[in-house]
Chains A and B, each alone.
Chain A
Amino acid sequence: MTALIGPDDIPYLPRGVRLQGDRVRGIRVLQAPERAMQLDQIGEAILSELDGARSLDRIVRDLAARYNAPVEQIGGDVRDFLTGLIERRMVFVRDSA
């Protein structure tokens, strides 16, 4: 299957998708059209990085540095997580160009 995101692509939350606190359950959720997804700490950490400016590659390196973890491992986790959301149209990507 073709990759839905490459290292130079910039992932972002499109209009209608936002991170929000769930004050009743005490967690963070991703709110999207007709879908609210409960996030664990890893999911929240990844999505908090989507600032619409940095590329996937840059985000992975920043996360690896912050959590003192291997770039290859973080890269795989982030790509898989974002690919699932891109398939659901909850994350969009654009070229860095």
Chain B
Amino acid sequence: MKDQQHQPRDLDGNPVTPGLPMAMLAEVTHRCPLACPYCSNPVDLVRASKEISADDWGRVFRQAADLGVLQVHISGGEPGARKDLAQIVGHARDAGLYVNLITSGIGITRDRLIELDRAGVDHVQLSLQGIRPDMADRISGHPGSWDKKMAFSDWVTEIGFPLTINAVVHRQNMERLPDMIDLAERLGARRIEVATVQFHGWADRNRGALMPTREQAEFARQVVNAGRIRLRGRMVIDYVPADHHAIYPKACMGGWGSTGLNVGPDGTVLPCHAAQTIDWMRFENVQERSLSEIWHLSDSFNAFRGTAWMPEPCRGCDRKTVDFGGCRCQAMALAGDARATDPVCSKSPLHAGVVARAEEDAAAITTDFVYRRMSKGG
């Protein structure tokens, strides 16, 4: 791999050195009974007929383990929408991977959860959209979702899985964050992941209904800090803050193509789940090439590896190996250029405009959502 032809290079032709991935997100389907207006799936959803088989997933998991992946996050859509989910989980465990099941809790019965336990699920992450039936059902666009989730949580406890609660927060529920943390504690979660909506894809269509205010972002920070002290040793709070109100951007994926990869329902391999918003980038598929070749040699993974591709102000910034210039997809969405400094960074020339637009969206009166739905046909 050291010869000229196989030397991995970034999008400017600078040589780069791929490391080894630790974690893989396996989005086994885009089908989902929920319709959350901030869904992280791409706007162009993959249809059931294009999904790769459980045996294909088995091959991908073995290749991933050979490549250094230690953990798989089996997600969707709702992974429970796949009837062969237990088989997929079994293949992941057989490959030696630690299996995290990321689920809405909708569509997985008690019997199926027992089956998934036998297949080797190590840990369950359950998403909650609100702390009461009315809010949870309205945000998820799924009447009855709350009751189903609470029943699912009981089965998780009964079987004994470690539980993480995932709570996406935004303008319409951020003030209830203390109640959400209490709820996670009551449900026996070891951990709660509080994630502020990321504004690309579906969420970008709902900015006016979801963008938190600066005061809310500050409130959430205080709630998280106080909660961490109060719950020390009992429940972990992981927090993804509202980066439109931050000074520096987040280190997306811990650096592009550095530690993680994402395989979609049809076998498309992405450096991050939102990478398809970078419209000029081409992505490869596990049906055509091995995961190792894609990881080491594909143009998409190599595009933003290292720091040589960075423009100013990133190039001369001492944080360039801390946050790697921020999120490439956010740069695409906000600057129209995937290689630009993430405009949420205070050093970006676009920062003032981004903040002004966020304030404007946060002040919007609308609470109506554009729900995530698969278009008809196909």
Chain A residues near B (Cβ < 8 Å): 1, 4, 14-17, 20, 22-25, 29, 31-36, 86-89
Contact = CB atoms under 8 A, between A and B. Distances in A.
A87 B162 contact: no
Q: Which of A24, A34, A88 has the most CB of B within 10 A?
A: A34
Q: Is the interface of A mostly helix, strand, loop or mixed?
A: loop
Interface residues on B, range: 20 to 34
B45 interface: no
B160 interface: yes
Contact of B98 (A4, A36, A87): A36
A29 B71 CA distance: 11
The listed residue with most A CB atoms (<10 A of its CB), out of B73, B161, B236, is: B236
A25 B20 contact: yes
Q: Looking at A15, A17, A35, A88, which has the most chain B CB atoms within 10 Å of its CB?
A: A35
5 contacts: A15-B160, A20-B96, A24-B65, A33-B164, A34-B125
B68 interface: yes
A2 B87 CA distance: 45
Given A33-B123, A34-B125, A87 B233 contact: yes
Contacts of B123: 16, 32-34
B274 interface: no
B71 A86 contact: no
A34 B125 CA distance: 9
A20 to B, nearest CB: 8
Contacts of B81: none
Contact of B70 (A17, A22, A88): A22
A23 B64 CA distance: 12
B240 interface: no
Contacts of A23: 96
Given A4-B233, A24-B20, A33-B162, A16 B122 contact: yes
B190 interface: yes
A88 B66 CA distance: 28
